[in-house]
A and B are shown apart, each in its own frame.
Chain A
Amino acid sequence: MTMADTTQFLSRREKIIANLAVILLAVMTLLPFLWFVIMSFKPVDQIFAGVSGLFFTPTLENYAGLVNERFVRSIWNSIVTSTVSTGLALVIGVPGAYALSRAGLKRDRTMSLLILASRMAPPVAFAIPYFLVYRTLGLLDTQLGLIIVYLTFNLALVVWLMRNFFDATPRELEEAAWIDGASLWGTFVRIVLPMSIPAVLTTGMLCFLYSWNDFFFALTLTRNSAMTAPVEVVNFMNYEGWEWGKIAAGGTLIMAPVLVFSLLMRKYLVAGMTAGAVKG
């Protein structure tokens, strides 16, 4: 069944207004990014050159300035903490969400809501307890420390999103697998998980974004060795002056993998976000 084109409900004038509104919103949203990316390719003296700064010879000098031990290490820290925390959150959270969805526990909705509640509180509420505990345990300024923080927040997201996904998938497939001779775990691994790939990828993407973009916890819980890229970029604003070129280049580099990743997984992201919405 194909859905009727919703634009057929609009008059010609309304269509023009709607399109103009979309273009305006897109420009408003994307202009800062564009400005930021262009800035990263400008020579330092032309960054705030006003109208004359619109015409410049692109240069990679800002990017070249980033190739130093500190920034490379911060990117590596970001990659490690984001990837490991996302991976662990999926490995622990997806089976947990499946169990919550299928176990038929009393008050299981309340339990899911409580798990999500950890994400409802402002991060600052957790920062001081984490800081004090980490100082005692020697986890301050370590990759492990950041991974644990990101894991606690991402786990809640994984359980909540995946539980709703599993609730919407038909149980008959699992029952068919049981009758075919699969165990509970075998059914999960061979039937449920392969069907859930789009949803798992979407959830993983959101977790990765959360960890990758985090600034607050990385700022409070790291100093030097475990500092991540978003915090390192801010260090280019120092008492010697604000290095706008490096800030723009660093910001663009932080943004790039997320953008590339999202574009590559677009197909799965759309499928994951609409999965279970309608009967297939």
Chain B
Amino acid sequence: MSGVQIESLRKSFGAVDIIRGVDIDVNEGEFVTLVGPSGCGKSTLLRMIAGLESISGGLIRIGGRVVNDLAPLHRDIAMVFQSYALYPHMTVEKNMGFSLKLQGLPKDRIAEAVGRAATVLGLENHMQRYPRQLSGGQRQRVAMGRAIVRNPQVFLFDEPLSNLDAKLRVQMRAEIKELHQRLNTTTIYVTHDQIEAMTMADKIVVLRDGMVEQIGAPLDLYDNPANLFVAGFLGSPAMNFLPATVTAAGVRAHDGTILAPLGAGLREGQSVIFGIRPEHVTLGSEGISARVGVVEPTGAETMVVLHVGDAPVTVTLHERASIRPGAEVRLTAAPGKGHIFDAATGRRL
């Protein structure tokens, strides 16, 4: 069993609480991403799992064993850093074989394990090079190679793709996912990029201010966000939010348009936020009145940013649009696709 269980985990720096009672259960072989805005504590949490940060309270179990007070080398984990952290004075081969050398394995077994990892990662022709002689993508592969030769119980990734350009990031994303499918090792992956989180993970943990906002499968979180924060954080472009009021006729926008029928859990007079994803809004002759702000054609899709009163609304159109900025249009939300949140608490109703 090589899952990771985190129970009531806390971390404080002096009087400042960084991690405030986090519970996460990572099953064996699962790929879990920790996402959240900068400063939410996701990297600190990962470093606590790795043993690089002390724990102020709670428990961390790896493979059923409490590791709170164990040094990193005794946790049977491997970590890939954002800066790659390759040893600059060692060749690719030595970088990858360093941990095995420390374990005291014979040279032929080290060479065999390193060779196998190099084949998996396409690094066979770079083994005698130094990190400074490699491109960003190659360095990233070496960092991953260093992690996989050890065959650890858990892989930890700390924003490993942030230093790569957009194209390489997409390529490496696919490679990491493929690697996980092949090795099936439990993986915890920190990112601030929600696209990475959505595309790679079996399970996403959304963090804010050191607390878990929601845990679930990527599409579950996308379709059923627990609150305004998760709804706004996942998805690109982000979900649109319109202030509204609950009336007997349904959820009414400020211009009087009914956005959604009256549902269970809503009471008349209640202030709510109506959330709708950009792909669930259509432009037509009926609905809420809006003014076109910016039109962003991306080729496959066209993003139109509109203004409904003061609130910006983004619409994703799957066809080429000939709308001009400044034009007056009307919007309709696809039936059943809206999300209603309590305006005071942000909770989904």
Tell me if chain B binds chain A: yes
Chain B residue nearest in CB terms to A180: B99
Q: Which residues of B contact A176 (CB under 8 A)?
A: 79, 81, 85-87, 146
Q: Which residues of A contact B86 (CB under 8 A)?
A: 176
Report if B72 contacts A (CB, 8 A).
yes
Q: Which residues of B contact A177 (CB under 8 A)?
A: 87, 98
Report if B73 contacts A (CB, 8 A).
yes
Task: Tell me the bound Cα distance from A177 to B102 in angstroms.
Answer: 10
Q: Interface readout for B82-117 with A: 1 if CB under 8 Å, 0 if not? A: 010111110000000011001100000000000000
Interface bracket on A: 10 to 19
Task: Tell me the bound Cα distance from A178 to B71 in angstroms.
Answer: 8
Q: Which residues of A contact B87 (CB under 8 A)?
A: 173, 176-177, 191, 195
- Complex contact B102–A186 (CB within 8 A): yes
- Complex contact A180–B89 (CB within 8 A): no
- Complex contact A173–B102 (CB within 8 A): no
Q: Which residues of B contact A194 (CB under 8 A)?
A: 89
- Complex contact A179–B50 (CB within 8 A): yes
Q: Which of B38-60 contact A (CB under 8 A)?
A: 50-52
Q: Which residues of B contact A186 (CB under 8 A)?
A: 102
Task: Tell me the bound Cα distance from A173 to B79 in angstroms.
Answer: 12
Q: Which residues of A contact B52 (CB under 8 A)?
A: 175, 178-179
Report if B251 contacts A (CB, 8 A).
no
Task: Tell me the bound Cα distance from A179 to B98 in angstroms.
Answer: 11
Report if A201 contacts B (CB, 8 A).
no
Report if A129 contacts B (CB, 8 A).
no
Report if B340 contacts A (CB, 8 A).
no
Q: Interface readout for A170-201 with B: 1 if CB under 8 Å, 0 if not? A: 10110111111111001000010011000000
Report if B4 contacts A (CB, 8 A).
no
- Complex contact A173–B73 (CB within 8 A): no
Task: Tell me the bound Cα distance from A222 to B188 in angstroms.
Answer: 66
Report if B292 contacts A (CB, 8 A).
no
Task: Tell me the bound Cα distance from A194 to B73 in angstroms.
Answer: 21
Known: A194-B89, A195-B88. A179 touches B73 (CB 8 A): yes
- Complex contact A173–B103 (CB within 8 A): no
Chain A residue nearest in CB terms to B88: A195
Q: Which residues of A contact B102 (CB under 8 A)?
A: 180-182, 186
Q: Which residues of A contact B85 (CB under 8 A)?
A: 170, 172-173, 175-176
- Complex contact B73–A181 (CB within 8 A): yes
Q: Which residues of B contact A173 (CB under 8 A)?
A: 85, 87-88
- Complex contact A180–B146 (CB within 8 A): yes
Task: Tell me the bound Cα distance from A180 to B73 in angstroms.
Answer: 6
Q: Which residues of B contact A181 (CB under 8 A)?
A: 73, 99, 102-103
Q: Determine which residue in A179, A181, A186 has the highest number of CB atoms from chain B within 10 A of its CB, and name it.
A: A179
- Complex contact B72–A172 (CB within 8 A): no
- Complex contact A179–B88 (CB within 8 A): no
- Complex contact B83–A180 (CB within 8 A): no
Q: Interface readout for A102-132 with B: 1 if CB under 8 Å, 0 if not? A: 0000000000000000000000000000000
Q: Which residues of B contact A195 (CB under 8 A)?
A: 87-89
Q: Which residues of A contact B190 (CB under 8 A)?
A: none
Report if B78 contacts A (CB, 8 A).
yes
Chain B residue nearest in CB terms to A197: B89
Report if B201 contacts A (CB, 8 A).
no
Known: A181-B73, A181-B102, A182-B102. A172 touches B83 (CB 8 A): yes
- Complex contact A178–B72 (CB within 8 A): yes
Q: Which residues of A contact B81 (CB under 8 A)?
A: 172, 175-176
Task: Tell me the bound Cα distance from A195 to B78 in angstroms.
Answer: 22
Q: Which residues of A contact B73 (CB under 8 A)?
A: 178-183
Report if B228 contacts A (CB, 8 A).
no
Q: Which of B239-270 contact A (CB under 8 A)?
A: none
Q: Which of A72-125 contact B (CB under 8 A)?
A: none
Minimum distance in angstroms from A64 CB to a CB of chain B: 47
Minimum distance in angstroms from A104 CB to a CB of chain B: 11
Task: Tell me the bound Cα distance from A179 to B70 in angstroms.
Answer: 11
Chain B residue nearest in CB terms to A193: B89
8 closest A-B pairs by beta carbon, nearest first, are A180-B99, A176-B85, A172-B85, A181-B102, A181-B73, A194-B89, A178-B72, A179-B72
A residues near B (Cβ < 8 Å) are: 170, 172-173, 175-183, 186, 191, 194-195
Identify 7 new A-B residue pairs, CB closer than 8 A, beyond the known A176-B85, A178-B72: A172-B81, A175-B85, A176-B81, A179-B77, A179-B78, A181-B103, A183-B73
Sample (10) of A-B pairs whose CB atoms are under 8 Å apart: A170-B83, A172-B83, A173-B85, A178-B71, A180-B98, A181-B73, A181-B99, A181-B102, A181-B103, A191-B87
